[in-house]
């Protein structure tokens, strides 16, 4: 059990409200942002299926003290947390753990690929869909088919709003009094330019939507979609989004590439090591809610097998959880099935297949 330190916010002592108040109080003067919240927009709170998924995943996370130290350092400094480590050590789950512990609502998730660009994270604009709908309105116009002079399409049909939707990064940067948690997953798979493109966003906490900036003189306020759901909309003024509380950004990397120094300088770095046997026991008990007070340990030998097999090749913690879950359900219980069971469920991700 990790003993909470006085300065911790994440996994610290006190109520959630007290710890969030501490987060708001200790704000570096060079990381203050002045965005104005839209009173008509309310991000999802601690209810609904999205929050249930975030809480279920994050509540079972078992962090070490050095991980909690790094998270809280990022919280105090309003800096992104760059989490590295082998696949399966819980890098992504850490973001859900932060959201669950501080009750900050569902995690916003941006899975990065080699084709991802900064704009994908900020917003999506369906220009083709807008053109298609404009052509349909033109063809269906009574004025066109009957030759009525001066007939014009309704003004609502010209709005750009239905074709704009903020991406996960853009939604996280919306001005709110409480920060959102954003998971930028596997950033090491991105195009080489993406980390550099993120620098200005991380420094300024704002971005411009050119399609809205061009029409700002005649449409200064436009309601656009967000990542919070198909019906969720927010007003963007002057084509610019400016945060108020800087989002809690967790970037994960499997270590497949190096990042430029200017990018690393703006991040708090955390390397997550594979869990020890003692930590594996805590993870199994926490995630599967096993009460071992009776002295019955239906998983101990599986932890031993997991620890032995990973010396010859990488294994992911969720493979162990799968194995214990199968054991609890009575699967693979026949005599002589142990070897095949371990080979099937605890197959090595690297190294020999046996």
Domains in the chain: boundaries: 16-123+160-271, 277-345
Q: Kindly tell me the sign of the dihedral angle through the C-alpha atoms of 133, 134, 135, 138.
A: positive
CB atoms within 10 A of CB 188: 17
Pairwise CA distance, residues 80 & 202, whole Å: 8
Name the token pair of 161. Answer: 């709003």
Determine the distance from the C-alpha atom of residue 128 to the mean position of all C-alpha atoms in its chain, rounded to a whole number: 29
Pairwise CA distance, residues 246 & 179, whole Å: 6
Pairwise CA distance, residues 148 & 303, whole Å: 79
Pairwise CA distance, residues 321 & 324, whole Å: 5
Q: pLDDT digit of tens for each residue in the chain (354 aa)?
A: 789 999 999 999 999 999 999 999 999 999 999 999 999 999 999 999 999 999 999 998 999 999 999 999 999 999 999 999 998 899 999 999 999 999 999 999 999 999 999 999 999 998 888 888 778 877 876 655 444 454 444 444 568 989 999 999 999 999 999 999 999 999 999 999 999 999 999 999 999 999 999 999 999 999 999 999 989 999 999 999 999 999 999 999 998 889 999 999 999 999 999 999 999 999 998 888 877 665 567 788 999 999 999 988 889 999 999 999 998 898 988 878 988 998 899 998 877 666
Distances (CA, A) of 35 to 168, 176, 240, 268, 290: 18, 8, 10, 24, 46
CB atoms within 10 A of CB 211: 17
* Fold of the 16-123+160-271 domain: Rossmann fold (3.40.50)
Strand 240-242 to 206-208 pairing: antiparallel
């Amino acid at each position: 059990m990790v003993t909470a330190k006085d300065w911790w916010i994440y996994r610290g002592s006190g109520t959630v409200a007290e710890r969030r108040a501490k987060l708001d109080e200790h704000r570096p003067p060079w990381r203050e942002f002045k965005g104005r919240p839209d009173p008509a927009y309310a991000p999802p709170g601690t209810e609904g299926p999205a929050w249930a998924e975030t809480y279920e995943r994050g509540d079972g996370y078992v962090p070490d003290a050095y991980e909690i130290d790094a998270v809280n350092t990022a919280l105090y400094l309003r800096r992104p947390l760059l989490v590295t480590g082998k696949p399966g050590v819980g890098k992504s789950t850490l973001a859900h753990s932060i959201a669950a512990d501080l009750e900050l609502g569902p995690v916003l998730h941006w899975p990065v690929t080699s084709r991802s660009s900064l704009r994908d994270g900020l917003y999506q604009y369906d220009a083709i869909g807008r053109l298609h709908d404009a052509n349909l309105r033109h063809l269906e116009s009574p004025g066109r088919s009957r030759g009525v002079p001066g007939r014009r399409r309704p003004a609502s049909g010209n709005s750009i709003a239905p074709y704009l939707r903020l991406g996960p990064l853009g939604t996280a940067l919306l001005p709110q009094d409480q920060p959102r948690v954003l998971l930028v997953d596997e950033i090491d798979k991105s195009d080489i330019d993406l980390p550099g493109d993120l620098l200005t966003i991380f420094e300024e906490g704002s971005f411009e939507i050119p399609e809205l900036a061009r029409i700002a003189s005649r449409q200064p306020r436009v309601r656009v979609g967000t990542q919070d759901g198909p019906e969720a909309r927010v007003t963007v003024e002057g084509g610019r989004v400016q945060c108020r509380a800087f989002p809690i950004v967790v970037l994960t990397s499997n270590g497949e590439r190096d990042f430029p120094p200017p990018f690393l300088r703006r991040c708090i770095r955390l390397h997550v090591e594979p869990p020890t046997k003692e930590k594996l026991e805590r993870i199994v008990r926490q995630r599967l809610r096993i009460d071992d007070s009776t002295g019955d340990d239906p998983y101990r030998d599986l932890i031993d097998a997991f620890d032995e097999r990973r010396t010859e090749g990488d294994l992911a913690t969720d493979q162990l959880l799968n194995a214990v879950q199968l054991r609890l359900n009575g699967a693979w219980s026949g005599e002589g099935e142990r070897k095949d069971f371990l080979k099937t469920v605890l197959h090595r991700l690297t190294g020999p297949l046996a």
